[in-house]
Amino acid sequence: MFKTRQLLSALFNHRLTLERNASIDEQTAKQLKRANEENEDSAEKLQATKKLKEEPTEDEKKYPKKKVVLLLAYSGKGYYGMQRNPTATQFRTIEDELVTSLVKSGCIPENHGDDMKKMSFQRCARTDKGVSAAGQAVSLKVRLMEDIIEKINEHLPPQIRVLGLKRVTQGFNSKNNCDARTYCYMLPTLAFSPKDNDIGNMAAFRLEPETLERVNRLFASYKGTHNFHNFTSQKAASDPSARRYIIEMSCGEPFINNNTQFAVITVKGQSFMLHQIRKMIGLVIAVIKGYAKEDVIERSWGQDKVDVPKAPGLGLVLEKVHFDRYNQRFGGDGLHERLEWDQEEEAVKAFKEAHIYPSIVETERDEGSMVSWMSTLHIHDFEATAKATDTKNKDQKQDNAEEGNASD
């Protein structure tokens, strides 16, 4: 009898356990079902959002984004260099104007204006405060619409112009694909006068052929690969990036503009550091004027710190950028154009004559930047070897005072 009761009790408890487990399984199944439904809803919403995001706008359907290079010319007067500085918006740059124009013309989406990486934007060369360009190149993706150059220029000030546009490969980068850069520097020939010359009478000075020959001999000494750590700021002599290759450098024949004699220095190199060209020119001027001996140039390539003066930025112009390797690889493939601007040559020349050269001449006449700078050359000690820390601090203070947020 007792065993029967035990058996019945065990069966009863087993039944309760089964019912309880069934109830739990049912609840778990409901919870799993609810979770699956929620996941499906989320997946559908995500898919819908993704689809909506991928759905091109009317402009994108009509004008798909393509990788291009823009040929850009500008007078740098009044601007704090080429490159944008998001942390210092009070310093207006050339890129600020260009990006604003690209957005207003509809060439790029408005929400990409603050992050141009989304458009694969890259400048070929950075330029200092006040420096101009006749042949700057920038690469980016744009909506390739009709009359695109005219539409961009509609929203640019007269001293900035897009003069040309060419399609390039998707992987093209105007900085990395650039083989060399050519700069010009326009200056009054009074800069090459002896130091005891009356620097106030600029219009009366004329450069002697013998002096020009000496100037070009000194400029030719820069050709080749040298350690230019003294020709920039905060660069150690041991830094491999201080070694730069100069292809050519020379000063052209003098010419008269507004009763003043000017000359144009041309320098071509693979790449240049911050202030490098201006210091290369400044040191030659110091030698020609008699403030420094000729051996200072060779000494400046050594390990010691040398006090190298920096010529004014006013006359410096980015003349041309070179893409020889790109042209060899893609220029003849039948799909892409060579990155040469022969057809735009007249437009470039007209822009320089209308906006760049007059600005240099007028500013030099009104502000006398070269004359003022020459009056400071006697302060430099070209014989002594400065301590690295002293020179670094001096360069930093000078750069901060003069350049604001300028870029090389």
Binding site listing for substrate: 183
Nearest to 106 by CA among 139, 74, 147, 138: 147
**Which whole-number Å values give the CA distances from 110 to 7, 143, 160, 365, in the listed order?**
81, 12, 21, 42
Residues tagged active-site: 128
Cα distance between residue 354 and residue 109, in whole Å: 32
Amino acid present at 98: L
Q: How far is CA 89 from the centre of its chain?
A: 17
Cα distance between residue 131 and residue 82, in whole Å: 8
Other C-beta atoms within 10 Å of 407: how many? 20
Nearest to 175 by CA among 105, 43, 82: 82
Cα distance between residue 281 and residue 326, in whole Å: 31
**Contact at 8 Å (CB) between 71 and 160?**
no
**CA angle (178, 182, 186) in 5-degree steps:** 155
Tell how strand 65-74 and strand 160-167 pair up: antiparallel
Nearest to 392 by CA among 233, 237, 241: 233
Q: How far is CA 165 from the centre of its chain?
A: 18
**Which whole-number Å values give the CA distances from 381 to 3, 24, 276, in the listed order?**
116, 91, 19
Residue located via tokens 């300028």: 406
Give rounded-to-5 percent helix, strand, coil for the chain: 45, 20, 35
**Contact at 8 Å (CB) between 382 and 206?**
no
